[in-house]
Structure formats: structure tokens, C-alpha cells
Structure 1
Amino acid sequence: MADYSEYRYLIVGGGMVADSAARGIRELDPEGTIGIVAEEQTPPVTRPALSKKLWTDPAFAFDDVWLDTEADTGATRHAGERAVEIDRGERVVRTEHGAEFRYEQLLLATGGSPGTAGLPDDDRIVFFRSVEDYRRLRGLAGGERHVAVVGGSFIGTELAAALVQNDTRVTLVFPDEVLGGSKFPAELASRFQRMYEREGVTIVSGAKAEGAGFEADGSVRLALSDGGSLTCDAVVVGVGVTPNIELARGAGLETDDGVLVDDRLRTSDPRVFAAGDIASYPDEILGRRRIEHVDNATEMGHQAGRNLAGADEPYDHTPYFYSVVFGNRYEAVGTLDPSLETVEQWDGERGVVYYVDGDRVAGVLLWNVEGRRDDARDAIANADGSDHDALRRRIPTEDGETED
């Protein structure tokens, strides 16, 4: 007979969305039972630290990554349970191990699966996403070992910077001709790449990984799309994620590149909500989109939790994303597409870049400028993108008020 549990609130997914949703629920309902069905064995962690602070901040210890979801909210986490079916008629979620969980309200927070770049499963190849991946990579790095980083994404560039600052030789392989060329204006992308080269990272641009073989001495031979190859001690892959929407699609919920939700984060079933990487939602400034960054995960998860508990409030937060490499922090709101016209204002190492589509600002990049995210949102919502002089004066390059 299958294991059976019943919860007022059931969350499928064990990441940061689950943590923030449980906290949002507790703001309105201190007693309702919360269940978390988590494929992960480990509890929710502050995921950005896995590629940032744990490598670069000596004051940030490994124990600092845990979010303490269960202790703080009273949620019950069912670890190592992969949900495979939602019976919406019976309001039951079933797992591959035969467990059944009945719900009154359901939140799908299944996140994304890291891309593999077509490389094989092996202990020396890490598809970076989880706290376990961090632990594995730590064991493969250091001691002047050579690690190849595949991908010029946010996670790929962060890992390359982290590793080279931790006694590791690093080769960074990416498809753009210049590092950051798919998101930064040409001059900034060139500066970005030079920063890595100065720190000792070997750059292999215009190439993708096409396969891997293994030598008798334990090293990895990485085959590249440009016909070349490189030999290293380990490989870490950071090429983005694919949203895990199969569960929602199998349940007959409306999907496109994500799970379609309304401004309350409800799916096409009013008892089922979705948040985080998988949710395609109507942003009031940017339009409908799906966002895979931590600010969206925490803010959307929090609002989803409140709405599960009956708040019936719109998700009206326009998320930002950020990265920190070699002491440089950049933040952005909206679309970073260098094929658009760009308008830049720089003061030394601080700058603001506007991505302009006709008379509309599509995105804003803040380079070493903190506390100006609301100004960036306002520019996207209200600025005249055709008035370049006014744009350059719009957001000061000095820091504004501190933001959470």
C-alpha cells in the first residue's frame, strides 16, 4: 500500500521558492500544514552562495547556506521523492516511489535542470546546480588542478572567477566571440574578457564542448566544436537550465516555454499555483516572461505562498538579476540584448547602460552601481528611449539607497 499524507498546502520542489513560499504561507496561516515534496536530498539553500560567497568570502561558512525552512515554518519535507503525476480531480500528487500526497492548495516549484552540453555522466564532470554539485566541484578543484568551465553564462563566468581565485587553473570555453558578447555592448564585453585574462583564466572563445573522453591517467579530454580539444582534470558545465514543466504538462495545465500563470500566480487550475523558474507570468513592466534568477524565485515564491493562504494579491514585483566577479557587481532589469541600440554613461568603473528599442527602454544594466534598481525599473516603464541625452542623466552612477 502506498504511503499517504495530506496537507493543506503542498509544495512540489525543494529549492528557494519552496522556502520563501512556506514563509509567505506562515504570514497568513500560522497553523495550516505544509508539505514539501523534494527530489533533492538536501534542504533548501541560498543558491547564489554556491557560485559566489562560498568561494570568495572567508567569513561566509558552508553552514551559512542552509535556509532552515523546516525549523522556521514547521513544514514537513519529504526528501528524495520525485513527483511524477498530479491527479487534479482527486487533488493528489504521486511520486515515483509510490507515495501519495493529498492537497487543498498546490504550488509547483519544480525549478530547472542544468544543461549538459551533451557531455556524459562522470564523477569528473559537474553539471552545476545544487549544493551537492558545489561539494563535488570543491573536491575536484584546488591544488593547481586544471578545471575546464563550459559556458559563458552567469553561472559559467561566476564559476570561472571562483575557481581561479581558489588555486585552480581554469580554461573557460564559450560560444561567443568575446566573453559577455551576448549581453554586453562590445567595449564592455572586451573589458569583461580582459578582466578574466588578467586573473589568469585561459579563454577559448567561439567554441562549444562536443564530447568528452577519459585518459588512463584519470584526466578528461574535452572535444571542441572548432576541431580542437583540451585535457584537464575536471569539467564544470554552466550552460543554463531547462524548466521542469513535464509534471504540469502531464496534468493538463496550460504551458508554453513555462507554466502559464495569471497575476496571482494561479495556473489554469485555480487550486494549483506555480512560481520560480517554471512560471511564465505577466510582468506589469516587462510583459509576459519566465525568469530564472534568485530575486524572482524568492519574491515570487513569497507571493505564491501568501496567495495559497488566501491573500489574493497580484505579483507586481519586476525582478532584477545580478552577478559578482572579481569584486565587480553588476545588476540588471529587463532585457540585455547588445543587438539593440545602447546608451551608456560611465564614471570610471561605474556605469549605466540602457538597451533601447525605438523609443522604449528594454533593459538597464547597472555596473558597480548599487541601490538604483527602482530607477532602472522606472526607466523601463517611463523613459523616452529616443532622448539619449536625457537617458544619460536619468540614473546617477553613484550608489543610491541600500536595497535588500
Structure 2
Amino acid sequence: MRTYDYLIVGGGMVADAAARGIRELDPDGTIGILSADIDPPYTRPALSKKLWTDPDFTWDQVPLGTDEATGAELRLETLVTSIDREAKTVSIGEGHELGYRRLLLATGSKPREIPAPEDDRVLFFRSADDYRRLRELAAQGGRAVVVGGGYIGAEIAAALVQNGVETELVFPSEVLGDGTFPPELARRYEQLFRDGGVEFRPNARVEEVRTEGNRLHVVLEGGDERPADIVVLGLGVDPVTDLAQQAGLVVDEGVVVDEHLVTSDDAIWAAGDIASYPDPILGRTRVEHVDNANEMGAAVGRSMAGERLPYTHTPYFYSAVFGVRWEAVGALDPEKDPLVVDLDADRTVVYYRDESGAPVGVLLWNVEDARDLARAVLVDGETDAEALRARIG
């Protein structure tokens, strides 16, 4: 039985960063990466952003080159079915087991689904393979219906329409982004899509996708149907915690880890989308964005290799559509008394505040190089509105 000094379950950006983090402290320990994906680790945000909008960003820039850079042994299309914590082994099916000295769970998230046919024109968008399929479909033209107004839905709708595909966006709210942005900024955000040519179907929830002849039909609550040649569903994701639960690790809205990213078993770490960790600013939280994957991945690798420094990075998250980039730290809830500061016609800062007036989240709309300032605002807890207006400019 093959035994690794470091065994990583999951083949995403966390796995890549963790392997590199291990190598910072341990140049010789054996590293195994077990991935259910068909592709080696790659930069996931490009799948809904730069690959569609930046002609200088090509597919050869997507793979991260993990195995070449770190010497890790990468096994693709490998599903881990169970963990034996006493024996320190994982099962990969058909009686095959692998051993570990230290184990990292980086199993990521899976897309939420609704009833839909097995059809290569229907995508619960998540993977590089989904991107390749959608790119082929987009090249054929036709009409796309994108379901969901969150990050993936909005970015894919923008990507498709900018690549010549007739695109309709179906989402459950009144105004696109109104669950994230204050009203005036949500209207500005929605107008970007309208000006870009995206058709809107607001206040709509989808029950199922069905086929009729060669056409797809997105069936809405109430019975209305939206015809399509392509359907992309971006309904959010859920953390993949089944393996941790079956192994008896503590799971509470994520795999619970300490400040060193260690689980309730001191030979097992968890990081990325699945990790519920104690953030020094936000408190115990779970974050599903790329900055967290990169920073926590590197930190967990170093932790596995013996570093005893706590993980203290408060991640940011971002999106980019139609030439606008917004970034944020903390909780973006438009009901949290937002203080909107328009720096000029194109640049805006929003402070989301609790009952005391202290910020719990900061949104940077087209404001560059201000993430550290935003983190400082959350740490300081400034409650004076005029003082807040002057913090980021």
C-alpha cells in the first residue's frame, strides 16, 4: 500500500496552493493529490471571466502546473469513498487504499441542481470541462437561458452575450444584485447588463428544465416556459462535507478547524470552501472565493509541514463584468444600513453597518488597491459616518 507523508483529497486551487506551501518547508516529503476531476488543478475564476473577455488570456494559462512545480503525485478521476482515521488510510474504491501521515480535505463545493435532462446543452456550471462544453455551444450561436443572479449566473450571462450569444438571465429578485448591493448600486449594476444586451426575466424561479424535440425549455413557477438552445444553471453551491462527516469529524456548516486549520483529528486538516475557521475579523466563517483558496491553501500546506503560525488572513472576494470590477471584504447585506460614498462618477465605496453603526462589510466598486484599507475599517469599528466617508478615497 502506497503511503504519503502528505495526502490531499481534492484537486482544485487549494490543493495546488497547499502542495506549494508544503514545499516551502519540506522539500522532500511525498505528496499525493487525489482529484475526482478530469483536469489537473487550474485557475477556476478564468472559466467565467478572463477566458471569455480577454483575448490575451488563453487556455494554456489555465492549468497551474502543480505536479511539475511540487513533485506531487496527481491521480485524476479518483474518488475517495471513505477515511479510516485509526489506520490512517483512505479508500479509493475496488478495495484499493492509500495511507497518509497527514491528510488534507479540500473537497470544495458542488453545484445545486434542479430536475433537468441528461443533455450536453444543460450545464450546472462549475468545472473546466463545463467551460469547454459551453464554449463549443456558444460557437454554434442560438439562444441561451442562464438561471441565477449570483456570481456564476451573472458572469456567464455577461460572457455569453459578449461573445455573440442571445442571452436571457432568469433570477428570483426584483433587481439584479439587490441581495448584495444597496438599491442605487443594484440599479447601476443591472444597467450594465441591459446595456450589454442581456434580456432579463426577474422575479422568476425555475422548477425544471425539459426537452421538446431539439429545443430545451426552462419551466418557471406558474408554468411559463423559456425556450433555449443552451441552458446554464448557476444556482449556488454547497460544500462537499460528506467524507468528513462519515469519518466522524466535527462538521457545523462546514468542517470545523482551529486557527491552524486542523480538524478535530490532529492528523487531518481542512481548507477552502469546506472549512469553517476562526477569522480574526469576521469570527467563525466559511468562504468560497479564490483569495481564500489561495491564501488558506498555502497556509494549510505550511501548517501540515510543521508551521505553528495561526491563519489570520481575512479574504476578499470579487467579480468582474462589462469592464466593472467590484471587490469586498466582510458581509454584504443591503439591509445592514449601507453608507454609500460616491468617490466620483465611476468609483463607489459602500460600508455595511450593524446596529451600532460599525461596519461589518466593505464594498469597493471600481476602487483599486484598497483591500487592506477595507480590512482596517472592519477592525477599527468606526461608527461615525463622516469619519467613515474619509477612510477610503
Report the TM-score, using the length of structure 2 for normalisation.
Answer: 0.98
- Give runs of aligned pairs for residues 311-350 of structure 1, distance below 5 A: 311-346=307-342, 347-350=344-347
The question of 1:366 aligning with 2:364 is answered: yes
Amino acid at match of 1:82: L
Contact 1:111–1:277 (CA<8 Å) still a contact in 2?
yes
CA deviation string 1:235-259 (max 9, x = no partner): 0111111100000000000001100
1:143–1:167: 8 Å Cα contact kept in structure 2? no
For residues 99 and 299 of structure 1, what CA distance do their matches in structure 2 show? Answer: 33
Displacement after TM superposition at 1:369 (Å) = 0.4
Name the amino acid aligned to 1:122.
D
Q: Which amino acid aligns with 1:365?
A: L
The AA in structure 1 aligned to 2:386 is D
Work out whether 1:37 is the aligned partner of 2:34. yes
**CA offsets, 1:174-217, max 9 Å, x none?**
1111100110001111111111111110000111211112121x
**Which deviates more, 222-231 or 82-91?**
222-231
2:232 is equivalent to residue 245 of structure 1: no
**1:304-356 deviation per Cα after TM superposition (whole angstroms, max 9, x unaligned):** 00010001121100000000000000000000001110101111110100000
Q: Secondary structure at the match of 1:341?
A: coil
Q: Write the mapping of 1:81-100 to structure 2, written as runs, cut at 5 A.
A: 81-100=78-97
Worse-superposed segment, 207-216 or 123-132:
207-216
Q: Is the 8 A contact 2:116 2:210 kept in 1?
A: no
Q: Is the 8 Å Cα contact of residues 117 and 211 (structure 2) preserved in structure 1?
A: no
Q: Out of 6, 10, 14, which is 2:7 matched to?
A: 10
1:383–1:391: 8 Å Cα contact kept in structure 2? no
Instruction: Tell me the TM-score normalised to structure 1 length.
Output: 0.95
Query: Which residue of the other structure, out of 166, 175, 179, is the alignment partner of 1:178?
Result: 175
Aligned position for 2:380: 382
Q: Distance in 1 between matches of 2:137 and 2:353?
A: 43
Gaps of 5+ in 1: 397-404
Cross-structure match for 2:65? 68
Q: Which amino acid aligns with 1:207?
A: A
Q: Superposed, which structure 2 residues align to 1:157-236 within 5 Å?
A: 157-216=154-213, 218-236=214-232
Classify the secondary structure of the residue corresponding to 1:40. Answer: coil
Separation (CA, whole Å) in 2 of partners of 1:153 and 1:247: 27
**CA displacement at 1:358 relative to structure 2:** 2.0
Whole-Å separation in 2 of the counterparts to 1:323 and 1:335? 15
Cα contact 1:119–1:210 (8 A) shared by 2? no
Q: 2:279 aligns to what? A: 283
CA distance in 1, matches of 2:150, 2:204: 14
Aligned AA (1:127) = F
- Once residues 155 and 172 of structure 2 are traced to their aligned partners in structure 1, the CA distance between those partners, rounded to angstroms, is 16
For 2:84, the aligned partner's letter is: D
State the shift of 1:143 in Å.
4.3
Q: In the TM superposition, what is the alpha-carbon distance from 1:138 to its structure 2 partner?
A: 0.6
Matches of 2:305 and 2:223, distance apart in 1: 56
Q: Is the 8 A contact 2:17 2:301 kept in 1?
A: yes
Residue 354 of structure 1 corresponds to: 351
**Amino acid aligned to 1:110:** T
Deviation at 1:97, TM superposition (A): 4.0
1:124 aligns with 2:124: no
Q: CA deviation at 1:118?
A: 3.5
**Partner Cα distance (2:179, 2:118) in 1:** 28
- For the Cα contact (< 8 Å) 1:81–1:97, is it kept in 2? no
| Alignment partner, residue 310 of structure 1 | 306
CA-CA distance at 1:226 after TM superposition: 4.2
**Judging changes above 3 Å, is the alpha-carbon distance between structure 1 residues 123 and 185 closer, same or farther for their aligned structure 2 residues?**
same
| Deviation digits for residues 115-168 of structure 1 (CA, Å, limit 9, x no counterpart) | 123334321110111100000111111343111111001111111111100010
Name the aligned partner's letter for residue 16 of structure 1.
Answer: M
SS for the counterpart of 1:103 is: strand
Q: Using the alignment, how far apart are the partners of 1:117 and 1:352 within structure 2? A: 36
Residue 72 of structure 2 aligns with an amino acid whose one-letter code is: A
- Point out 4+ residue stretches in structure 1 off by more than 6 angstroms: none
Deviation at 1:50, TM superposition (A): 0.5
- Match of 1:117, SS state, is coil
Q: How many matched pairs?
A: 391
Residue aligned with 1:378, SS: helix
Q: In the alignment, what sits opposite 2:389?
A: 392
| Cα distance in 2 for residues equivalent to 1:197 and 1:227 | 25
Question: Matches of 1:121 and 1:268 in 2, distance apart?
Answer: 39
**Match for 2:38: what amino acid?**
Q
For the residues of structure 2 that align with 1:378 and 1:110, how far apart are their CA atoms? 31
**Structure 2 segments unaligned to the other structure (5+ residues):** none
Which residue of the partner structure matches residue 399 of structure 1?
Answer: none
